[in-house]
């Protein structure tokens, strides 16, 4: 197969546990989808201008050669289906055009381990008609790892007034943990024929799980779980299919620009892909870099997962992980305890075996989880379950960023938020290539004092494969 026909693989490594309380556990529905795996769109291209702008006149000139599916004048990018292949040369001859490249679809990899159990929302009503839903906050070791509860005591705003846009596979708008904080008027899908609000049922949905880690409102309601910033506003932007995890540079870049233009304070992207850093993909890489640069200029803090390949990015010559290694992104690696349920005082800061690492990729570390109760518990359609991955670590930092922004009533720059996160991270006494500036600390970030408590960790690995 020729290189320009390769299916590009983004990686979302998701690990679920089968361990649940038996009195409230239930089987997850085994949902399958027969959609064909996405490949490069036939005759569809991404065009970049040389000025990062797009005038109406230039857009009209481009449109002579095909049907424009979307355009991003904010960053000088157009997506077009050409009328004929020879249109490529004519477009390159237009003054102001920098490049024209195939617009690849991307397929996100399936979970490496999926539980067949969930903690289910009890559908049986009591005599008063109220639905009985258990509280699971006590299972959230990740809140202890980053001192989230202490942060809420120190700063009761708890993220209120901060908008966090979750670019992912959609969200369950009816989930009792999610609904109180969800701004449905701003939620949007960039995946054809799919709503941002995911289908009904009891199953794992990546976007809902990520959103719950950021801002589940459970503690206010006395049930479910609680997010790191439980009063922050959540906006779901679907950039990946909920069925097969497929998306494209077009959907992701559109999602970034949409969030930046609609009041986002924080963008969380628990997604990523490892690409050859070659001329063939440089234009595509540049489009995403432009989108992130635009978001930063609009005052948006962009946070992403480091990836679950278990590789040292410093030694990964010839490849780039997107969006993790782009400028303007806070990239997060994953940590985990081993045997937390047996010993709640165990070390919570062990680097996981799956996390990508290296000075060239990691800015901060955060709880991403291992197996069983060492995984991260969060919301899914119809209930809750555990998952592990850098996808679960990134939203921990997004939640802390929301706490910082809310404390400052939104009047704080991107660079200042980064500085507070980095300065107040716990400096782990182990190999820094796994932790970057340190493991994020919520209370220290909210208080933003000069003191810097250090935590000692045994530099062994959590067993998460």
Say what the pTM is: 0.87
H-state helical runs in 80-147: 87-92, 141-145
Of 276, 262, 166, which is closest to residue 212 (Cα–Cα)? 166
| Whether the Cβ atoms of residue 52 and residue 253 lie closer than 8 Å to each other | no
**Count of C-beta atoms within a 10 Å radius of residue 51:** 11
Q: Cα–Cα distance between 58 and 174 in angstroms, integer?
A: 43
Question: Quick check: helix, strand or coil at residue 150?
Answer: helix
pLDDT at 371: 86
As a CATH number, domain 118-455 is 3.40.50.200
C-alpha to C-alpha distance for 170 and 381, rounded to whole angstroms = 11
Q: What is the predicted pLDDT for the residue at 218? A: 77
* Residue 271 CA from chain centroid, whole number: 5
What stretches of 123-197 adopt beta strand conformation (E)?
163-168, 188-189
In the residue annotation, 209 being an active-site residue is answered as: no
Catalytic-role residue among 13, 136, 142, 168: 168
Q: Please list the rounded mean pLDDT of every run of 10 residues in the chain (465 residues).
A: 36 30 29 34 81 95 94 96 82 94 68 62 45 71 96 95 97 95 98 96 93 86 85 97 89 97 97 85 93 98 94 93 96 94 91 94 95 91 92 96 97 98 91 92 93 49 44
Quick one: pLDDT at residue 223?
72
Catalytic residue among 270, 391, 394, 445: 391
Q: Is 168 a catalytic residue?
A: yes
How much is the pLDDT for 224? 87
Q: Which of 71, 206, 265, 349 is catalytic?
A: 206
Sorted by where each begins, the domain ranges of the chain are 44-103, 118-455
d(CA 87, CA 68): 13
Residue 69 bears catalytic tag: no
CATH architecture of 44-103: 2-Layer Sandwich (3.30)
């Amino acid at each position: 197969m020729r290189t320009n026909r390769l299916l590009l693989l983004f990686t979302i490594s998701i690990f679920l546990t089968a361990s649940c309380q038996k009195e409230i556990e239930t089987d997850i529905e085994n949902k399958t989808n027969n959609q064909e795996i996405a490949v490069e769109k036939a005759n569809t291209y991404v065009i970049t201008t040389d000025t990062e702008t797009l005038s109406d006149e230039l857009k009209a000139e481009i449109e002579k050669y095909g049907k424009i599916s979307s355009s991003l004048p904010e960053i000088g990018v157009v997506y077009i289906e050409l009328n004929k292949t020879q249109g490529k040369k004519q477009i390159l001859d237009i003054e102001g055009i920098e490049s024209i490249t195939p617009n690849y679809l991307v397929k996100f990899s399936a979970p490496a381990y999926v539980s067949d159990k969930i903690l289910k929302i009890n559908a049986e009503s009591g005599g008063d008609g109220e639905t009985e839903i258990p509280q699971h906050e006590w299972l959230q070791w990740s809140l202890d790892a980053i001192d989230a509860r202490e942060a809420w005591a120190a700063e009761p705003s708890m993220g209120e007034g901060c908008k966090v846009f979750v670019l992912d596979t959609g969200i369950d708008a009816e989930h009792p943990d999610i609904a109180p904080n969800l701004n449905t008027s701003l939620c949007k899908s960039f995946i054809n024929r799919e709503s941002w609000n995911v289908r009904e049922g009891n199953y794992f949905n990546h976007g809902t799980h990520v959103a719950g880690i950021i801002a589940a409102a459970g503690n206010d309601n006395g049930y479910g779980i609680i997010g790191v910033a439980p009063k922050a506003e959540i906006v779901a932007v679907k950039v990946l299919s909920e069925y097969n995890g497929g998306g494209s540079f077009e959907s992701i870049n559109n999602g970034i620009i949409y969030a930046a233009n609609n009041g986002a304070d924080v963008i969380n992207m628990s997604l990523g892909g490892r690409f050859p850093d070659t001329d063939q993909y440089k234009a595509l890489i540049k489009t995403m870099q432009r989108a992130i640069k635009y978001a930063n200029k609009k005052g948006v803090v962009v946070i992403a997962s480091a990836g679950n390949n278990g590789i040292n990015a410093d030694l990964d010559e010839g490849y780039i992980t997107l969006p993790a290694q782009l400028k303007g992104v806070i990239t997060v690696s994953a940590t985990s305890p081993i045997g937390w349920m047996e010993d709640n005082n165990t070390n919570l800061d062990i680097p996981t075996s799956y996390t990508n690492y290296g000075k060239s990729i990691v800015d901060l570390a955060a709880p991403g989880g291992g197996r069983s109760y060492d995984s991260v518990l969060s919301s899914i359609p119809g209930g809750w379950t555990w998952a592990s991955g850098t996808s679960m670590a990134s939203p921990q930092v997004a939640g802390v960023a929301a706490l910082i922004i809310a404390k400052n009533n939104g009047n704080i720059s991107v660079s200042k938020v980064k500085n507070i996160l980095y300065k107040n991270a716990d400096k782990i006494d182990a190999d820094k290539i796994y932790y970057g500036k340190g493991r994020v600390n919520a209370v220290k970030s909210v208080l933003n004092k000069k003191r810097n408590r250090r935590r000692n960790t045994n530099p062994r690995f959590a067993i998460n494969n």
